Structure 1
Amino acid sequence: MEMNASYTSFVAVGDSFTEGMSDRLPDGSYRGWADLLAARLAAREPAFRYANLAVRGKLIGQIVEDQVPVAAAMGADVVTLVGGLNDALRPKVDMGRVRDHLESAVELLAPSCKRLVLMRSPGRNGPVMERFRPRMEELFATIEELAARHGAVVVDLYGASALADPRMWDVDRLHLTAEGHRRVAEAVWQSLGLPAEVDWRTELPAEAPPGWTVRRAQDLSFARQHLLPWIGRRLTGRSSGDGRPAKRPELLPYGDAPLS
C-alpha cells in the first residue's frame, strides 16, 4: 500500500457503529470514529468531501439495499463498510444469507473506490460476547475471505484486547465510548497508510474491578434502560433506526454540512 497517501473523499457505510453511537456531543448528537477520521483527512486535503450513510439498527440486507448502491455511485477514494454484526447478535440468523449480502456489497463497492476498508468489529468482554463469539468469528472469516479476493483492507479491531476492555464501552454495552471511537479512527487512519499518531492498541491502566454491589446495580440499570427495550424491539419487529435518515447522505465538501 502507498504510504502517506492522499485521499480526497470518504464514504462511510453501516449501522450504529459507523453512525457514532455512543460518542455523544454536547448537543446530544453523535460524532464517532468516521467523523473523527473525516476531520483528519480533511485537514490534509482542502477540497475533501465526506458522506456518512450509516443508520443505527440496520441489518446487512438493509445496508446492501439502501446504502451500498448509493455509496458505489459516489465514486469516493475511500469507502468503509461495517455490517452484519446486528444480524449475528439476533437470536436466530441465517449466516449464509449474511455472507451472500456481504459478498454482494463488496463486489459492488470494491471497483467503485480507491480503497475499500472492512473491519473485524470489536466486542466487549463478557457473557454476551462468549455466547455470540462463534457467529462473530464466522462473520469475520467471511470478511477476511472477501477482502483477500477483492483487494480490500481489513482493520482487525476484534484482535485488539484494549477494545474488549469493558471500560471502552458505554453503559448500553453495545457501543464504544468516545475513547473507543478515537482508537478506531486511528486504526483506520493507519490502515490507509497514513502516519501513526498513537498506538491505538495500548491497554488501559490496570484498576481494581468494581465490587459485587456496584456490579449488580450496573447490571440492573443496564437491563432496565437498554436490554429490555432492545428485546421489546426484537419481539415487535421494530428497529432503533426505523424512519431515521442517513447521517450525512450527500458527498459534500467537509465543511458544507454539519456533522451529527
Structure 2
Amino acid sequence: MRFEGTQDYVATEDLRVAVNAAIALERPLLVKGEPGTGKTVLAIEVAKALGAPLIEWHIKSTTKAAQGLYEYDAVSRLRDGQMGDERAKDVSNYIKKGKLWEAFTAKERPILLIDEIDKADIEFPNDLLQELDRMEFYVYETDETIKAKQRPIVIITSNNEKELPDAFLRRCFFHFIKFPDEQTMNEIIEVHYPGIKKKLVSEALTTFYSMREVPGMKKKPSTSELLDWLKLLMNEDIDLETLKEQNPDKLTPPLHGALLKNEQDVALFERLAFLSRRENTPRRGPSG
C-alpha cells in the first residue's frame, strides 16, 4: 500500500515519504503544522488513494481516551432493569463501541484519523499507548478482549497547542507540514480552481505572503483561507488594478474578512493603513 497523492490533494515529496514510511513501519503518523495546512484532509485523501475505509475521531477538550475504546451506560441498564426490560439482562446492549473498536474490527484495513489530539488532556496520549502498541484492549463488562483483525493505518494530527509526552512521540513517525511555498501554492490553487487567471493568482499571492510576513499578527492567514479569498475575488469580480493598488505591507486588502479572523489583526492592519496615509500626506510648509 503506497500513497502517491490524489488529483484533489497536492502532496509534497517529503509528505508522501512520511505517509509511506509510517505504513511500512506500522506506526502512527503524527502530523503537525499550522491550522489550515491540510492535516485533516490528508487522512481523507490517503483513504481515498488507498481505497480504504476512513474512521474519524475528532478530539475535544473533554474527550477521554477510554471513549475511543467503548463506553458503558450503567445508568440506562439500571433504569431498564427497574422497569423490567429484558434488554437489561444482556450487558452488551449497553456498551457503545468507540472509534478504536470500530477500527480494530473493520472488515478492511481502515485509516483511523485521531484529529487534533493536542486539544485533549495531557494524559490522553499516554492513555492510548498500550492499545496502539498491542492493538488490543480488554472489555471488563463482557470479559472479552478485542483484538485488531489487521493493524489500521493511524494518522494523528496536532496543532501544537500543547507538548505531547515523549513516550507517545517515540511510538510515532513524525512529519511537520511546512507552509507551502509559492510554487506548491500555485499547484494547490490550480487543483481547486482549474483555469483561474494567472495574473489574479500572482497578485493575490503577493498580497497573501506579504500579509503573513507582517510582524505582530496573532493568526497568519492559512491555505484554506487563501482559497476562500480567491473564491470571493472571483465571485465579486475584483479587478486586477484594485488588487494591485493595495500595499499588502500597510493596507488592508479587499474582502479581508476571509483572511483576517480576529479583531486584533484587523486593528493591526487598520493602524498600519493609518500610518501609511499619514506618511504619504504632503506636509504644508510654514505660512507667510
Q: Specify if TM > 0.5.
A: no
Which gives a bigger RCO, structure 1 or 2 (Cα 8 Å, sep 6+)?
A: 1
- Between Structure 1 and Structure 2, whose CA radius of gyration is higher? 2
Please indicate the TM-score interval, normalised by the length of the shorter structure. Answer: 0.3 to 0.5
Q: State the TM-score, normalized to the length of structure 1.
A: 0.37
